[in-house]
Structure 1
Amino acid sequence: MLEPTIADWFKTRSLNWFGEVPTIDKVIDGFYGQVCIVRLADGERRVVKRFRIAGFARHEARAMRALRAATPAAIAVPTLLHFEAAAEHGWDAFVMDFVAGVNATETPAEFADALAADIVALQRHWHAQTGDAFEDLDGSRYTSFAASYHAYLDGRRAFLEHADGIDTGLRARLLATLAHADALLAPLADDPPAFIHDDGHAGNYLVDPQTWRLVAVIDPAGARFAHRELDLFHLPDARPDLHLLERYLAAIPLAPGWPARLAFFSLWDDVKHAEFTGWRDDAWFERKLTRYQEQRDA
Structure 2
Amino acid sequence: MPTTFEDQGETEFAGRASMQVFEGFYATVRVEDIAGGRRVVKAFHRPGTAAREAVALAALGRMTPPGIAVPELISLRREGDREVMVQTYVPGVPLAEATPEPSSAAAHALAEQVVDVVTHWHAQEGPAFEDLRGGTHPSFLASYSADVRDLGSWLEGADHIDPGLRERIRVTARAVPDLLRPLADDSPVFIHDDCHAGNFLVDPEGFVLTGVIDPGAARYSHRELDLFHLADGAEGLRLWERAAARRPLARGASERRGLFRIWDDVKHARATGWWDDEWFFRRLGAFEQARHQRAARRGG
Structure-1-length-normalised TM-score = 0.90
Does residue 95 of the first structure (1) align with residue 86 of the second (2)? yes
Map 1:213-232 to 2 at 5 A: 213-232=208-227
**Residue type of the partner of 2:255?**
A
Q: CA deviation at 1:225?
A: 0.7
Q: What root-mean-square deviation, in Å, do the aligned CA atoms of Structure 1 and Structure 2 show?
A: 1.7
For 2:24 and 2:261, locate their aligned partners in 1 and report how far apart those are by CA, in whole Å.
18
* Aligned-partner SS, 2:82: coil
The answer to whether residue 69 in structure 2 is matched with residue 81 in structure 1 is no
- CA deviation profile, 1:236-293 (whole Å, cap 9, x unmatched): 2111111100111111111111111111011011111111111121111111011111
Which residue of 2 is the match for residue 239 of structure 1? 234
Q: Which amino acid aligns with 2:123?
A: A
| Partner residue in 1 for 2:297 | none
**Which secondary structure does the structure 2 equivalent of 1:234 belong to?**
helix
Matches within 5 A, 1:174-253: 174-253=169-248
Gaps of 5+ in 2: 1-7, 294-300
Conservation of the 8 A alpha-carbon contact between 2:9 and 2:78: no
Query: Tell me, what secondary structure is at the counterpart of 1:92?
Result: strand
* 1:61-118 residue CA offsets vs partner (Å, 9 max, x unmatched): 11101101111121100000001368xx411211111112222222322432211110
Q: Mean alpha-carbon deviation: is it higher for 94-103 or for 124-133?
A: 94-103
Alignment equivalent of 1:46, drawn from 39, 44, 63: 39
Question: Counterpart in 2 of 1:6?
Answer: none
The aligned runs of 1:86-165 (5 Å cut-off) are: 89-105=80-96, 106-109=98-101, 110=104, 111-165=106-160
1:290 alignment counterpart: 285
Q: Is the 8 A contact 1:135 1:141 kept in 2?
A: yes
The question of whether the paired residues in 1 share the 8 Å contact of 2:189 and 2:222 is answered with: yes
Query: When the two structures are aligned, how many residues end up with a matched partner?
Result: 282
> How far apart are the structure 1 equivalents of 2:230 and 2:193?
10
- 1:124 is displaced (CA, Å) by 0.7
Aligned to 1:215, the other structure's residue is in SS state strand
Alpha-carbon contact 2:99-2:234 (below 8 Å) kept: no
Normalised by the length of structure 2, the TM-score is 0.89
DSSP-derived class of the 1:46 partner:
strand
Deviates more, 1:73-82 or 1:108-117: 108-117
Question: Structure 1 residues 164, 85: CA separation in 2 closer, same or farther (over 3 Å shift)?
Answer: farther
User: Is the partner of 2:279 in helix, strand or coil?
Assistant: helix
Q: Using the TM superposition, give the Cα deviation of residue 171 of structure 1 relative to its aligned residue in structure 2, in angstroms.
A: 1.1
Question: 1:46 deviation in Å?
Answer: 1.0
Q: Contact between 2:129 and 2:143, CA under 8 Å: does it hold in 1?
A: yes
Q: 1:232 to 1:10 in 2, by over 3 A?
A: farther
**Which runs of at least 4 in structure 1 moved beyond 6 Å after TM superposition?**
none
Q: String of CA shifts for 1:19-40, please: whole Å, max 9, x gaps.
A: x753111012211111100112
Judged with a 3 Å threshold, the aligned counterparts in structure 2 of structure 1 residues 85 and 254 are, in CA distance, closer, same or farther, namely: farther
Corresponding residue number in structure 1 for 2:20: 26
For structure 1, list consecutive stretches of 5 or more residues without a partner in the other structure: 1-8, 15-19
Give the partner amino acid of 1:12.
T
Aligned equivalents of 1:246, 1:10: Cα separation in 2: 48
